[in-house]
Amino acid sequence: MAAIKTHANPFKPSLGSRLLWLGVLVYLIYAVVTLDIGWDRFILGLEQGGRLVDRLFPPNFNRWEILLSDLIESLQIAIIASVFGIVISLFVGLMAARNLMPNIISIPVRVFIALCRTFHPVIIAILFVKAVGFGALAGILTLIVASVGFIAKLFAEAIEEISFKQVEAIRATGASFASTILFGVLPQVFSRFIGFSIYQLDSNLRNSTMVGIVGAGGLGGTLFAAFQRFDYDFVTAILLTIIALILVGEALSNLVRRIFQ
């Protein structure tokens, strides 16, 4: 007898996907049970949290001189690291672009970028504090590495998406390699580079307040010390300062964006 073709629910989930969902559910229950994070523990945590919030207010700005000098230091770390990071990324990104560079250059450079991305900035910051000592220099180096790891990769990808016809036309004029990059490649990717750079400046501003926690300069160190000494009202002051810093950064990036449009 010939097989009768049926069309019963062509969208039926496969056995594999059902097993996967079941597996996720079972693991979730197991994990919650073994970590002992039941309802009681949650209520206990809430009470503690209430006491903390109580002590956070009102914010204490008595030590505003420390705050201001730390703020300036964080800002400087972020801006210096962004400028150097972006300039280095331009060259690194160019060398990592597979459509412009032979494998012998692009592969090692890609490995280098991957290495820069491997570790969280906190780990890199600890390494640099051990290597060059406490202070802003370690913070700057950390954020340069983080910037290269992030935007050099984006730069390279942007370059790989360009139209090669324009590059070919510039090459046909007898232009040198450098001129070909400047006139055939850069105009095509410039606005995206600006976007990435602004994003990185933003992200460096945030991270510059964090590297201080491990001693690499900026607001983070003071914040961490205030937590250790239970100066919770000062903590609030620092957090408000960081919020202000981020808002200023936001305004700054909007300004840059508008200028380059």
Partner 1 sequence: MSALEIRGLNHAYVASKPILHDINIAINEPGIIAIIGPSGTGKSTLLRCINRLIQPSSGSIIFQEADIARVQGRSLRELRRQIGMVFQEYNLVERLSVLENVLTGRLGYMSAWNAWRRKFKPEDIDRAFELLDFVGLSDFAMQRADSLSGGQRQRVGIARALMQAPRILLADEPTSSLDPKTSVEIMELLKTLATDRGIPTLVNIHDVNLARRYAQRMIGMSGGKVVYDGAPSGITDDHLKTIYGGESWLQ
According to the binding rule CB under 8 A, does residue 218 interact with partner 1?
no
Nearer to partner 1 by C-beta: 118 or 173? 173
Among 114, 168, 230, 254, binds partner 1 (CB under 8 A): 168
According to the binding rule CB under 8 A, does residue 259 interact with partner 1?
no
Nearer to partner 1 by C-beta: 180 or 222? 180
Nearer to partner 1 by C-beta: 31 or 169? 169
According to the binding rule CB under 8 A, does residue 176 interact with partner 1?
yes
Rounded to whole angstroms, the Cα distance separating 190 from 90 reads 11
According to the binding rule CB under 8 A, does residue 192 interact with partner 1?
no
What is the closest distance, in whole angstroms, from the C-beta atom of residue 160 to partner 1 in the complex?
17
Among 175, 194, 246, 252, binds partner 1 (CB under 8 A): 175
Among 56, 83, 119, 188, binds partner 1 (CB under 8 A): 188
According to the binding rule CB under 8 A, does residue 184 interact with partner 1?
yes
* Stretch of 55-63, 135-143, 166-174, 210-218 lying at the interface with partner 1 (CB under 8 A): 166-174
Among 117, 171, 192, 206, binds partner 1 (CB under 8 A): 171
Rounded to whole angstroms, the Cα distance separating 146 from 81 reads 9
Q: What would the DSSP string read from start to end of the chain?
A: -PPPP--S-TTPPPHHHHHHHHHHHHHHHHHHHHHT--HHHHHHHHHHHHHHHHHH-S---TTHHHHHHHHHHHHHHHHHHHHHHHHHHHHHHHHH-TTTS-HHHHHHHHHHHHHHHHS-HHHHHHHHHHHH-SSHHHHHHHHHHHHIIIIIHHHHHHHHTS-HHHHHHHHHTT--HHHHIIIIIHHHHHHHHHHHHHHHHHHHHHHHTTGGGGTSSSHHHHHHHHHHTT-HHHHHHHHHHHHHHHHHHHHHHHHHHHHH-
Nearer to partner 1 by C-beta: 109 or 189? 189
According to the binding rule CB under 8 A, does residue 190 interact with partner 1?
yes
Residues 106-165 that bind partner 1 (CB under 8 A): 165
Which residues bind to partner 1, rule: CB under 8 A?
165-166, 168-176, 178-180, 182-184, 187-188, 190-191
